[in-house]
Structure 1
């Protein structure tokens, strides 16, 4: 498999060099434009741009106005807007209950201490009682020799699933299989009607269960499809719960193995095998639902080539942030992601100011609901305003880390498709270099809006600045880590607290060059041969 990928990468590099039609003129990005956009989008007036809020609506209107002033054409469903229907679920003045039932005893677990659950966006009332079956990690990855459901009968039962993934899976592949969505779908495909996730010691080290429990009263958001069903729902599967390690051990008392033995297998790199558990569980939830709408904002710059103008290169950036807390504190979201939106707007301006129309059309999409779980981009990818098969690439901008003038960029996903070579070539034209992912353990490739395009077969990359500063006295890695620890999803992520507009100018111009090369090349981007995501999702 790896040799095929390397061959494809070499072939693509040659094709990029031969088929790209570079523009001789590279327009200059305006720091004044970018600063103006960031200052407004991350202002107190917009109160953190929470999905569905008045502040978010103002932000969407602002972006639509900027698109219109540039001369971009509306490409939503209602002018520039694609209204996304959401369902917000909250606990209906009651807490969920989870009871473990043995042949001679019952154990009631305490919500918020021993287990957590989220309000269901599917049903306002849910009650399930069924036998329990331990299914290990709950993964079916046959190409990697894993089938945790082999020889197990889970039909009509509750699957008990370890969080995480075995070390034998490559990081990004493992992240795909270990996602909550994939594990739910796998359980339902094997006939399970419910699921319980077990918090493991490894996960406890990364983030204590108690931290999750602090959010036990948070609402659930999901987009609603055109049949009135939540977009992330798994048909046939009841709402689930997550148990901490101590509570989870009670499910294994009297079973053929203890949970401690399972954890020891995990520590030793073994994939725990599943088995039936000698208990039933009863889970009851009550939630109330509220309908909310919040728009994606979509504009198009039509292509000029008669043969290529019906193909689209999509820029995406999320417009929402996390809003205002109960104490009135505003979370401004300047880097995350007012800066990404501002860069996207200025990139669009550069195309218009260049005087050279792109051969392919460019679609600019400011998406809602990213902070709720990549929801607005999922809705757009499910119901695109242009034919899905006409979308040839996605370039995603999310918290670009505009902290210092830089020497390199990072394109998450560069190793999966020919977009990586295009990004490398464009970076070189900007006097920059393309650096590898500095934190592969974080599996960023599956954690931002571009992944919803990947799941529909579209080659995609997610761009941020690199960690090499132009100033040798600046430690780029230290600055990025400090931002993540001190400002990410905190009130300190404000316009006047660290955005470097020289970096913003650099980043915009390299984005322009990347998009220019994709839009003007003879051939469209392609997945590398043998790539996992290309093989799994690629369009025929």
Structure 2
């Protein structure tokens, strides 16, 4: 009996040390040379900033490269190939769109294509001979019926007008005004810029942002809402009868404090806002290492990073995005190599997810969450790596007012939700073992600030790793030579040990998402 017990004990320790040796051999696959090689390609000028629509199609080149690496490592593909197609739709205003003022006799008094769509929906809108309600600066009472009519309202506030007239666009104030008017169910809202803004500063300011190309998932539901347009004062002048009439009207409203809008009985408004739409090919790259446990392998741990960036500026300078988010992209490549080499494999499956179009609106992660390789209820944790390759230097103090200024060599932002309370403690312990200092103080709104939000909103435990904002964030200076590969290697190693721990736990108690 003693001999049997001794033999069993010896076998146990032999297997234990073999397992430890295998794990250490696997983590050794994460090395600076591999990180540098991958990042030097993905963050090169050749890929033109890994953005949709560039001449070189660098985003597709990046996707091809990631796929090649996944194949070399022997990772299993998802969907059933490595590429998950993400159906995107681009939309931009049609230059043939117009607003027209229609007179009592049905003839067009004025027509202009110089307006901006502010509602963001980019759906075609057609209104014919709609009733116009002039609503001053937007502060109108409930007696004014605007239901089904076009409300014309001035930018800015009545207080102190015209002396207080502002030429810059105060987005918060104007959005508040628009929301208040929208509650009254108008057919459309037209915000007219200040008549004292002779050089159209406010109009041109928002035109840069709101007449640009927009993107959406082509299978997403259209957000039905009220069309909101921004127009120049000459439109309101034509409605009111002539040059300078809009200014006189606003002076009167400001002086009297009247809160009643009035309906035009001799003018109507027609709107034909057309949209040019195009389908765009984009893709996530998805691969996995299958778990070894016959039951737990149906669950998974996800490692995710977005591989896109913001392209090329008007001067042809390339935003290489070495840190944002080349660093996260290559880190999970190395983590994938470590898990691919591990024998035995962890109990749960490990998914590696490189998502597209984060910079345009987190479309890749959103689409994966709608069409996951493993059901989200079987996804025990999603690690999202977004900017994990920098270390603080003095010029990064430009982010002193941000709660996410880039960390020193030992620091790391670790943001988790409350879906699995134990996750933060596991992370703290692993960071302590690796002599990393986790900062868990980021405000809750950062849960919405990157791709982990697509998992968070579906009740999946998430852990976001980031080294923070630096002076080259979204600048052409975000290059490979600024990356601290020692720090990047440490983050990748943390990912491996965290993933291994979680994938091998027998029980994980995730809170049920409350509807």
2:399 is equivalent to residue 411 of structure 1: no
Quote the residue 2:90 is aligned against.
88
Q: CA deviation at 1:398?
A: 1.3
1:116-515 aligned at under 5 Å gives the runs 117=118, 120-123=121-124, 125-127=125-127, 212-225=206-219, 231=220, 233-234=222-223, 236-241=224-229, 284-403=272-391, 406-414=409-417, 417-418=420-421, 419-438=423-442, 440=443, 443-465=445-467, 480-481=469-470, 483=471, 487-496=472-481, 498-515=482-499
Q: Residue 119 of structure 1 contacts residue 285 of structure 1 at CA under 8 Å; is this kept in 2? A: no
User: For 1:322 and 1:347, how far apart are their aligned partners in 2?
Assistant: 25
**Measured at CA, do residues 416 and 390 of structure 1 come closer, stay the same or move farther in structure 2, by a change above 3 Å?**
closer
Shift of 1:133: 13
- What corresponds to 1:139 in structure 2? none
Per-residue CA deviation, residues 57-100 of structure 1 (Å, 9 max, x unaligned), is 111010011111111000134x100111211112222466599x
Asked if structure 2 preserves the Cα contact closer than 8 Å seen for 1:43 and 1:332, the reply is yes
Q: TM-score, normalised by structure 2?
A: 0.68
Matched, 1:43 2:44: yes
Q: 1:282 to 1:517 in 2, by over 3 A?
A: farther
Distance in 1, matches of 2:508 and 2:134, equals 47
Residue segments in structure 2 that go unaligned for 5+ positions in a row: 1-18, 104-108, 136-143, 154-171, 173-177, 194-201, 236-245, 393-407
Contact 2:82–2:285 (8 Å) recurs in 1: yes
1:448–1:188 Cα change, 3 Å: farther
Residue aligned with 1:298, SS: strand
Query: Offset of 1:191 from its aligned partner?
Result: 7.5
Which residue in the other structure is 2:10 paired with?
A: none
- Per the alignment, do residues 453 and 210 of structure 1 end up closer, same or farther by CA in structure 2, a change over 3 Å counting? farther
Change in Cα spacing, 1:520 to 1:118, as seen in structure 2 (3 Å) is: same
Over residues 232-276 of structure 1, what are the superposed CA-to-partner deviations in whole Å (9 max), with x where a residue is unaligned? Answer: 631x335445799xx9xx9xx99xx98xx9xxxxxxxxxxxx999
Q: Distance in 2 between matches of 1:456 and 1:287?
A: 32
The total of aligned residue pairs comes to: 427
Residues 362 and 519, structure 1, Cα contact 8 Å, conserved in 2: yes
For the 8 Å contact 1:296–1:368, the answer to whether it is kept is: yes
Q: Distance between the aligned counterparts of 2:366 and 2:352, measured in 1?
A: 15
Q: Which has the larger radius of gyration?
A: 2
1:401–1:190 distance in 2 versus 1, CA, 3 Å: farther
> Where does residue 142 of structure 1 map in the other structure?
none
| Alpha-carbon separation, structure 2, partners of 1:509 and 1:160 | 59
Query: What is the alpha-carbon distance in structure 1 between the residues aligned to residue 262 and residue 414 of structure 2?
Result: 45
1:518 and 2:502 are equivalent in the alignment: yes
Q: Give the secondary-structure state (helix, strand or coil) at the position aligned to 2:473.
A: coil
Give the TM-score of the pair, scaled to structure 1: 0.65
1:157, 1:429 → 2: CA distance? 65
Distance 1:371 1:133, change over 3 A: farther
Contact 2:117 2:211 in 1 (8 A): no
Q: Deviations over 1:469-502 (max 9, x none)?
A: xxxxxxxxxxx44x2xxx2222111212x10001
Shift in CA distance, 416/524, structure 1 to aligned 2, threshold 3 Å: closer
3-state secondary structure, aligned to 2:49: coil
The question of whether the paired residues in 1 share the 8 Å contact of 2:299 and 2:378 is answered with: yes
Partner of 1:8: none
Aligned partners of 1:323, 1:507: CA distance in 2, in Å?
A: 26
1:308-364: CA deviation from partner (whole Å, max 9, x where unpaired): 111122222111111123432211111111111001111111222343412111111
Is contact 1:116-1:243 (8 Å) kept? no
Can you give the 5+ residue segments of structure 1 that lack an aligned partner in the other structure? 1-22, 135-151, 162-177, 179-183, 200-207, 226-230, 262-273, 467-479
How big is the shift at 1:222? 1.0
Structure scoring higher RCO (CA < 8 A, sep ≥ 6) equals 1
Residues 522 and 292 of structure 1: CA distance in aligned 2, closer, same or farther (over 3 Å): same
Q: CA RMSD in A?
A: 4.9
1:61 aligns with 2:64: yes
